[in-house]
A and B are shown apart, each in its own frame.
Chain A
């Protein structure tokens, strides 16, 4: 069984069987309070099962607001360490993409859009499911100015996602695990440099 944790948008936790069946889930919406709530949500879902059944921990790697995103990744990694379970990193956009591409309303291509602050959005375009049943990106996830998003998507149907289901993230991880694939590296999908510049030359304060 896979424990899935994502804090790229709200705070979301779920337990998903290796076959993709959802065993339990808990979530709160909103981009704040991840650190306050993450422990309680983990306890809630674990109360439904024997923790010994957890074989893997899937973690949403973003994109998402940095501080919140890291809380889920840190919690997932430490949980995995505590139980001796491997971590399955999953790009967060794959979760809503799988939900759409396996739904009755599925259409391709399909883009997932999330708010990236500073009047920008993160955009991932998928052209369907691959042979392993995993969403297939047509290009790397990018940041674009919100005002330019429509032009960037050029008519591709999209959904701006504000809440992410950890159960979907767990389903992606289950498919990746079955296919023996790793979907992304250990570095979160920050898509932005740490946003700092070396200090300007010394300012005069006046004598």
Chain B
């Protein structure tokens, strides 16, 4: 095996995207993604069984496409890597089954990789990118997870400081988008609506941010209370609008979107900075994925 710049094929199936990556050392040769997002859109969120079925369908063609794009043959690979979690169990299993089949067929080593660590590693894949400065606090935000990590060494020493107790930040965006009758996925829609809104118009609650939360949930997140607060606010608006028989929009969507987003970002940034200070890290890397 080429230890300086090993040729590795990675398989990622933890959520709704079948991802096949091929790297030679720190050079990305292919990043092939098949998404089942369209199939989930009508359900307003990722459906595990739909995702798992789509992974099985997409895997073989995706691996073939990645190999073709990278212009390598299976037998050229030095190792196989696979997301071992966290993620949707049924979806993860498809990738793990495939990774084991491929590794045995090629008689090459198989590496199980934590999905969150994979996200951080993606930042240093670009050969031009500066190397990760240790130690660092990493904040990962996506539709699937909201996690805060203390990274002392990417391959050997990553500590999960906290994560969401209920919805991921991205999920909260999806749910609030649905409350506001905006399409799925909610992130970009909320962003668009928020652009013309006032982030200070409504004060929505900041989850797990009270002084009493510091002992047990200093670095954990919770967005379900926020989502409920938005729902109540919207319902009250609608009820008052009906009484007044208002013309035009009853709910000031830009203000709700902007104030909701402000509440989410406020919690994320505050907790990340708190971790940096407590752990003595100068660097905080932010990955919205």
Contacts and interface: CB of A to CB of B under 8 A. Distances in A.
B47 A74 contact: no
Contacts of B50: 194, 196
B103 A207 contact: no
A77 B94 CA distance: 11
A140 B45 CA distance: 33
A186 B106 CA distance: 23
Contact of A74 (B42, B95, B103): B95
Interface in B81-130: 89-90, 93-107, 110
A34 interface: yes
B52 to A, nearest CB: 6
Contact of B232 (A43, A51, A207): A207
Contacts of A153: none
A158 interface: no
B98 A199 contact: no
Contacts of A195: 49
A43 to B, nearest CB: 6
Interface residues of A, number: 41
Contact of B60 (A38, A72, A81, A83): A81
A204 interface: yes
Contact of B103 (A39, A51, A66, A198): A39
B232 A205 contact: yes
B74 interface: yes
Interface string B176-205: 001100000000000000000000000000
Nearest to B52: A70
Interface in A43-87: 43, 46, 51, 66-67, 70-84
Interface string A75-111: 1111111111000000000000000000000000000
Nearest to B106: A82
Interface in A7-26: 7
Contact of B105 (A66, A67, A83, A202): A83
B102 A78 contact: yes
B59 interface: yes
Q: How large is the interface on B (under 10, 10 to 19, 20 to 34, 35 or more residues)?
A: 35 or more
Contacts of A74: 55-56, 59, 93-95, 97-98, 101
Interface in A163-207: 186-188, 190, 194-196, 198-199, 202, 204-207
A165 B115 CA distance: 35
Contacts of B178: 199, 202
A80 B105 CA distance: 8
A78 B179 contact: no
A42 interface: yes
A65 to B, nearest CB: 10
A56 B132 CA distance: 45
Nearest to A38: B100
A198 B52 CA distance: 18
A205 B74 CA distance: 54
A206 B105 contact: no
A198 B59 contact: no
A84 B89 CA distance: 29
Given A194-B47, A194-B53, A196-B50, A71 B104 contact: no
A207 B98 contact: no
A42 B104 contact: yes
A35 interface: yes
A199 B43 contact: yes
Contacts of B98: 74-75, 77-78
B6 interface: no
A83 to B, nearest CB: 5
A75 B232 contact: no
A67 B44 contact: no
A73 B60 CA distance: 11
B228 interface: yes
Given A34-B97, A80-B105, 7 more contacts: A67-B52, A75-B97, A78-B60, A78-B63, A81-B105, A82-B102, A205-B232
Interface of A: 5, 7, 34-35, 38-39, 42-43, 46, 51, 66-67, 70-84, 186-188, 190, 194-196, 198-199, 202, 204-207
15 contacts: A7-B97, A35-B93, A35-B100, A39-B100, A67-B93, A71-B93, A78-B59, A78-B98, A79-B104, A82-B75, A83-B105, A194-B49, A194-B53, A205-B235, A206-B232
